Amino acid sequence: MTLIIFGVLLWSFAHLFKRLFPGPRAALDDRFGAASKAFFTVPLVLSVVLMVIGYRGNTAPEIYQTPGFMVHANNTLMLLAVVFFGLGNSKSRARQLFRHPMLYGFATWAVAHLLVNGDLASIVLFGGLLVWAIAEVLLINAKEPVTTWRGGSLAGDIKLGVISVVLYLVILGVHMWLGVWPLPAPGAA
């Protein structure tokens, strides 16, 4: 559990540093230029490693159980999360509607996993990352002017949809390969 907590905190701090400490972040950028990103890339990679190792080796108690039909909600939300993630870099018309699509995707991913994972390790991991995503949105909204992306096309919408479905299927495949069955059990409602 300690590895998960440390990983979530490290992830959150590395992402929030720019918003919480804009002066020191600007000084790093001025002094090191593009190489300053390494100061944040290394902790972010380490945070993911810590979270994965901690989560894979967890023996945390189960706090709550969810009904089997929540798998459907999880899968629907996961497809939406993938769309949100892709939306941030797409040429879709829908990109105009959301200021923080990648953070919304991250929050949606976290909620989806909390719907089907009631053990303490999952609550700490997904709940902690959900809190980070919400904090990031609130800090950005409070400190940065609103900019709205303009553009997009029907072709961009279609491309986003196709890529999202393909990536979602890949994610399902990776879960199955790791031994985590992400679909409803055969014969389940």
Domain that holds residue 46: 1-59
What integer pLDDT is reported at residue 5 of this predicted model?
95
Where does a domain end: 21, 40, 59? 59
Taking CA 53 as the corner, what is the angle to CA 87 and CA 49, rounded to the nearest 5 degrees? Answer: 50
pLDDT level of residue 10 (50, 70, 90 thresholds): very high
Alpha carbon separation from 127 to 4, 13, 108 (Å, rounded): 11, 16, 11
Asked if residue 4 and residue 72 are part of one domain, the reply reads no
What contacts 107, CB < 8 A, 6 or more positions away?
Answer: 130, 133, 134, 137
Q: Does one domain contain both 26 and 65? A: no
Q: 72 and 102 share a domain?
A: yes
Choose one of 59, 90, 107: the last residue of a domain. 59
The percentage of the chain sitting over the pLDDT mark of 90, rounded to a whole number, equals 46
User: Which residues, 6 or more positions from 97, have their beta carbon under 8 angstroms from its beta carbon?
Assistant: none
143 lies in the same domain as 54 = no
47 and 73 share a domain? no
Q: What is the pLDDT of residues 111-166, one digit of tens each?
A: 999 999 999 999 999 999 999 999 999 999 988 777 777 888 888 888 888 999 99
Please state the domain count of the chain. Answer: 2
Residues 141 and 104 placed together within one structural domain of the fold: yes
pTM of the predicted protein model: 0.84
Helices (DSSP H) in the chain: which residue ranges?
A: 2-20, 22-32, 38-56, 70-87, 101-114, 120-143, 154-177
